Amino acid sequence: MDISNKLANRVTSLKASAIREIFKMVGKSDVISFAGGIPSPELFPAKEFGEITKKIMEEGGAKGLVYGITEGYAPLIEIVEERNKKIGVGKEFDQTIITTGAQQAIDLVGKALLNEGDGVIVEAPSFIGSLNSFRSYNAKLYDVEVEEDGINTDKVEELLKENRNIKFIYTIPTFQNPTGITLSIEKRKKLLEIAKKYDCLILEDNPYGELRFKGEDVATIKSFDDEGRVIYVGSFSKTLAPGIRVGFLTCHKDIMDRVVVVKQVNDVHTTLMMQMMVCEFIKQYDFDAHIKKASKVCGEKCALMIECAKKYFPDCIKVTNPDGGIFLWCEMPKGIDTGVIFEKCVEKKVAFVPGRTCMADIDAPSNCFRLNYTTVSNEKIEEGMKILGDVLKEYV
Amino acid sequence: MDISNKLANRVTSLKASAIREIFKMVGKSDVISFAGGIPSPELFPAKEFGEITKKIMEEGGAKGLVYGITEGYAPLIEIVEERNKKIGVGKEFDQTIITTGAQQAIDLVGKALLNEGDGVIVEAPSFIGSLNSFRSYNAKLYDVEVEEDGINTDKVEELLKENRNIKFIYTIPTFQNPTGITLSIEKRKKLLEIAKKYDCLILEDNPYGELRFKGEDVATIKSFDDEGRVIYVGSFSKTLAPGIRVGFLTCHKDIMDRVVVVKQVNDVHTTLMMQMMVCEFIKQYDFDAHIKKASKVCGEKCALMIECAKKYFPDCIKVTNPDGGIFLWCEMPKGIDTGVIFEKCVEKKVAFVPGRTCMADIDAPSNCFRLNYTTVSNEKIEEGMKILGDVLKEYV
């Protein structure tokens, strides 16, 4: 039986996330993996989660096990809205929904907004999970390079001038995935101004923003939004734990109205137990202190990895210097394909994310790669970076 | 700012699930709701879940909190595959994935298979969540009436003969939602034969199949599938609890290959803690005894509600007599619109699901309605059916 003629066009050419594939490949082996995308697992509040959940089940019984409403568990929405307020997110025209991770939030926005052939401006490089989601609605991706202070806004304007099919600009403005770079306040304002001028939306994805370990906070793009042009996505994946799959989405009620219907047919609602657990954790524990502690660890590990890069990498490799988050972006001399180096590295028991997987065109070779510093121990960072440095030296 | 020109065509005319809206309306009030769609909540293993989860978190720590693979938690997949085998599900060409409820399984299939304008044959009546999912991909719904022994297979063949755009037949063959009717073994074989003849797929949705309280098991359609034509969906929502959002999908590996990519961009993976919890529950407790007990309660409540219908409903109302599951379907004389009666009922503090919400054309009046007998106490069944009977009498 031929299955190929049964598939929808939107998915036939879609490729599995290379990062997820790398994850499967190195997950069970003795490879030192810098390919991860989560904060230090030893900081996840496993014990607290266990106790909270037991209590919820004992005291609430079936309350946490029946169907919930699609918008989310009301007490958790309240907490999210309160926290959002502190960073200027959530205007009088906005609503908030709890999602099954930030990934679902991105995907719901894609489904609610993107017709086939609609354009999305994305950062080059960007987060593969979002790029793939947009691709899965047959959107056209327009990529714009990320500079030291974030996306090149002049290029964004050029693209918007030339292409009237662009629905929104997708940006991770703070401690960007994969570069760790933060979009400057000037460029944030500029981006919103351009979006207004060409009547397009902005999708502001901010899963890492709370993990700052140096420098001053930069206002969210959403905080300047006075008309519902910015769709804001946040997550508990990086501040609590990724496996619980709890994120959120705040946007104009007219968009939310469609997002809710799309979520309804997608998974009805986000697991009630997980929503209640997050809610109770924040009520019973000092969440901000927890985040502060996690950020401090991120900072220490980041500093260590940068130090190792200086020590072990060839001098010609440029490495970013983020103020927060969990990623470093490394740029090798032009002409080198880190996809090739990746295979060699895995042989030597060390892994990173090849740059091409983070690009709109995943088939073009890339001279860059992403490193995560939070999921492995300090000893393994030192060990892995030394191995990695040795391999890199063979290629420059 | 005008949002309407920003929305994707696929969602502009999509309506929120009326059932979810009813749920919100009656959820917090003193209405006796027969509009639910879950087994008796007092049977949900809340205490056991709490203990299991505490143990998982204490012993496994971060293991249950990191990212999991998209396909699902391997030990749970193993359990599902083992259970599937007993009902003929899972051939050598098949693979199984854990989904965020059966709703997500349906939605992933829709996204992976349906181009705009593709057709889906659906039962009339059918499950609104699935209908809405297909609508959200701009599919064309072709509805075929459910007879006493299930969908009219002659009509299915006629439609397939006339319409070459039909991708799959969507059926809930056992204790169907909303009718409670079971597709006969003859019609199951016939359906697969027709699907082969016209080269279309079958999506077999079986969330209620394990909740049998009388009669003999009927083989799954999937058990006759020798080439990967049947996509099978199951769930723990009705056997454990719906709020945990754990379901599964078993289908040909070539379809699965696309489904996995679609799930990856949708929510990365189903909450790991919930997958582990379900897995441990089945390992540590007697799951089959639990299902048997739940089915028995379903049967008792079903009998009580049918008895009440005989006692309180006008004689002209036809009520189905299911062998399992959680729903009764009631048919009033032609010309009556149960949408109108619904509003009157809510005033009188009793709720059901109006028939039109279960139809491909939700705008056409329906003389039918759905009753759930499992979520309210026996006393409330008696009380609510009496009120309902009184209202119905005003309309016949």
A45-57 confidence digits (pLDDT tens):
999 999 999 999 9
Q: Residues A10-21: what's their mean pLDDT?
A: 80
Name the CA radius of gyration of chain A, rounded.
21
Q: Taking CB atoms and an 8 Å cutoff, what residues of chain B touch A51?
A: 54, 57
Q: Band of the pLDDT at A160, cuts 50, 70, 90? A: very high
Residue B18: pLDDT above 90?
Answer: no
With contacts defined as CB-CB under 8 Å, which chain B residues touch A113? 6-8
Contact assignment for A261 to B136 by CB distance below 8 Å? yes
In DSSP notation, B70-92 reads TT--HHHHHHHHHHHHTTT---T
Q: Which residue of A46, A51, A65 is in closest CB contact with B61?
A: A46
- On the 0-12 / 13-18 / 19+ scale of CB atoms within 10 A, A164 is exposed
Stretch B148-152: mean pLDDT, rounded?
A: 98
Cβ contact (<8 Å) for A7 and B38? no
Pairwise CB contact (< 8 Å): B243 & A271: yes
Q: In chain B, whose CA is at the least distance from the CA of A99? A: B267
Per-residue pLDDT, averaged over A205-225, amounts to: 98
Chain A: nearest CA to B57, how far in angstroms?
5
pLDDT tens digit sequence for B285-297: 999 999 999 999 9
- Whether pLDDT at B38 is above 80: yes
Instruction: Tell if the CB–CB gap between B57 and A46 is shorter than 8 Å.
Output: yes
Strands A150-151 and A140-147, sheet pairing: antiparallel
Q: So what's the pLDDT on residue B21?
A: 74
* The residue type at A389: G
Cross-chain Cβ contact A57/B53 below 8 Å: yes
Percent of chain B with pLDDT over 70: 99
As a whole number, mean pLDDT of residues A65-70 equals: 92
- Give me chain B's average pLDDT, please: 95
Q: Above pLDDT 90, what percent of chain B?
A: 90
- Three-state SS annotation for B122-151: EEECCCHHHHHHHHCCCCEEEEEEEECCEE
Given a cut of 80, is residue B32 above it in pLDDT?
Answer: yes
CB within 8 Å: A243 and B66: yes
Average pLDDT estimate for B212-224 = 98
ipTM for the predicted complex = 0.95
Alpha helices per DSSP H over B213-271: 253-267
The mean per-residue pLDDT over the stretch B155-162 comes to 98
Query: If you average pLDDT over residues B120-125, what whole number do you get?
Result: 98
Q: What is the pLDDT of residues A271-322, one digit of tens each?
A: 999 999 999 999 999 999 999 999 999 999 999 999 999 999 999 999 999 9
pLDDT tens for each residue of B50-78: 999 999 999 998 899 999 999 999 999 99
Cβ <8 Å between B54 and A50: yes
Q: What is the pLDDT of residue A224?
A: 98
State pLDDT tens for residues A350-395: 999 999 999 999 889 999 999 999 999 999 999 999 999 999 999 9
Say what percent of chain A tops pLDDT 70.
99
The structure tokens listed for A154 are 């002049």
Instruction: Select from A9, A23, A254 the Cβ nearest to the Cβ of B67.
Output: A23
pLDDT at A28: 63
**Domains of chain B in sequence order:** 4-45+289-393 (3.90.1150.10), 64-284 (3.40.640.10)
Cβ distance B103 to A37 less than 8 Å, yes or no, reads no
**Per-residue pLDDT averaged across A175-186, rounded?**
98
The pLDDT of residue B28 is above 70: no
**How many angstroms away from the CA of B56 is the closest CA of chain A?**
7
* Interface contact flag, B16 A266, Cβ < 8 Å: no
Mutate to test the interface with A, among B245, B246, B375 (most CBs of A within 10 A): B245
- Residues A30, B29: Cα–Cα separation, whole Å: 56
Q: Report yes or no: A167 and A113 within 8 Å, Cβ to Cβ.
A: yes
Average pLDDT over residues B258-273: 96
The CA–CA distances, whole Å, from B240 to B129, B295, B303 equal 20, 12, 22
Measured in degrees and rounded to the nearest 5, phi and psi for residue A71 equal -65, -25
- The b-or-e profile of B173-201 (16+ CB within 10 A means b, else e) is bbbbbbbbbbbbbebbebbbebbeebebb
Mean pLDDT score across all residues of chain A: 95
Predicted pLDDT at A27: 65
Q: What is the pLDDT of residue B27?
A: 66
User: b/e map of B243-274 (b: 16 or more CB within 10 Å)?
Assistant: bbbbbbbbbbebbbebbbbbbbbbbbbbbbbb
Task: Considering only the beta carbons, identify the residue of B46, B68, B245 that sits closest to A267.
Answer: B245
Cβ of A20 within 8 Å of Cβ of B241? The answer is: no
| Nearest residue, CB atoms, B265 vs list A136, A167, A227 | A136
Is a pLDDT exceeding 90 seen at residue A236? yes
pLDDT-derived band at A61 (thresholds 50, 70, 90) equals: confident
Mean pLDDT calculated for residue range B87-107: 97
User: Which residue from B8, B24, B273 is facing A111, i.e. has the nearest CB?
Assistant: B8
Q: Which residues of A touch B59 (CB under 8 A)?
A: none
pLDDT value of position A12: 87
Burial of A334 (0-12, 13-18, 19+ CB in 10 A): exposed
Q: Within 13 Å, how many C-alpha atoms sit on residue B119's CB side? A: 15
Provide the terminal-to-terminal Cα distance of chain B, rounded to the nearest Å: 49
Chain B partners of A3 at a C-beta cutoff of 8 Å? 228, 252, 254-255
